[in-house]
Copies of this chain bind each other. A is one copy, B any other.
């Protein structure tokens, strides 16, 4: 049996450097989109206001447009009398000029008629034949000057701005209906491996469902890319070559998952090398998890060969691929506000030798700071990542973090809040029942269950008794739920 082993493992920095030497990471191009579809896009040009906002001096109150000087001295018991010579509503073009001693009825948002320089609020007037004004105004009072909000010529938004509803509102204000944004980088996803089945399909014995394609696809969507799934290929060279070439024809960047270890890995390696130059740049990174990752360039486009194990694939994606996609989309490489300062809740050992990206959970202490708990589990498990709040980076030389040591936690999600209740211990169906009950009875706090493996009596319950909830947990007579092994769970402080 002949298997090629990894090339020399390279460091995280060297892997990035090699990629950078052969590929210039930056926006892939620009395109015009209508404002209605601009949310979440990134501006590819500066936006300058062509108009004043508001475009004209406008009344900011309902009332009467006046020459302010006419109202000087007006008081409750000594009103000034003015002659009403017209009316301007919002959207009207004033047809009348306000001369000395005159006034025009005006609505909020209406253009100020010529001659007038202030508005008296309707509350301070009484209109009967003539208008009685009971309060003086100063020039400019209750008037919003043309350009007071945004001036014509003003740079309103800059290249690289990410468009949230606030920015689209500002663009609407200056009337721009079509704008230049960065094109979304096209990211092809390809799953490799004879054992991979898509969710929703029947699962024959010996097969597993494809996790990575889904998570990668959705994360690419969230990070400004345009993902496309190119399906699953088995471990035949010709098939892999054809599909990677097809993907390169469409994509700006190609991701494969699975098939990076020895055996199948050789095929992918050879295919990328054949499609080069330069072909494979990196095969094997001194990192945990994700060591077997491949980085290459073919047809001038980056190809990332991610490991098949979900935690490995997603960690390599987070550390190497996501920043590249984001920069190609015109976004910052890193998502802002995603790093939380915390301290190790216990001594946390690194596996040593390789850079380690360790999934962790955060628990808020009474003082408001955060404690870090490592999430146990292997890189073959999806739950290792799905239960984690984020991950910490442990450098190569570091053997362990001391209890209490400060560490930055990069969060996985944007809106992730550390759990109010964290349950750490062996997996237990009873806990799920308990939490569901709490939820159905209106408990709104967020819970997190970290299973340290399905050991002991629990497996016996699962295997021996199908109807766990019905038979063992609920005592029908008393109505009391009996949670087995609860004593074995630790409620985080």
Residues of A within 8 A of B (CB): 1, 3, 34-36, 39, 46, 51, 53-56, 58, 60, 62, 89-94, 105, 107-111, 122, 127, 144-145, 147-155, 158-160, 162, 164-178, 193-201, 203-219, 221-222, 234-235, 261-264, 308, 310, 314, 332, 335-337, 377-378, 380-383, 385-386, 412-417, 427, 429, 432-433, 435-436, 439, 444, 453-454, 462, 466, 468
Contact = CB atoms under 8 A, between A and B. Distances in A.
A214 B168 contact: yes
Given A165-B219, A193-B109, A335-B415, A262 B211 contact: no
Nearest to A317: B165
Nearest to A338: B415
Contact of A91 (B39, B91, B206, B218): B206
| Max chain B C-beta neighbours (<10 A), residue from A147, A158, A382 | A382
Nearest to A469: B153
A311 to B, nearest CB: 10
Contact of A336 (B34, B149, B415): B415
Given A151-B462, A166-B413, 14 more contacts: A35-B200, A39-B221, A39-B222, A53-B209, A60-B378, A90-B235, A91-B206, A92-B194, A93-B204, A150-B383, A155-B432, A158-B435, A169-B215, A169-B385
Contacts of A210: 172
A109 B211 CA distance: 14
A199 B214 contact: no
Contacts of A262: 62, 122
A388 to B, nearest CB: 9
A54 B93 CA distance: 72
A484 to B, nearest CB: 14
A150 B211 CA distance: 13
Contacts of A46: 436
A382 B156 CA distance: 11
B215 A199 contact: no
Contact of A209 (B58, B145, B174, B415): B174
27 contacts: A51-B203, A53-B209, A62-B262, A89-B194, A89-B235, A91-B193, A122-B262, A144-B381, A147-B462, A151-B462, A154-B427, A154-B429, A155-B435, A164-B414, A166-B386, A168-B215, A169-B385, A172-B209, A172-B215, A174-B199, A175-B199, A175-B200, A177-B199, A177-B200, A332-B444, A336-B417, A337-B415
Contacts of A166: 215, 385-386, 412-413
Contacts of A174: 199, 209
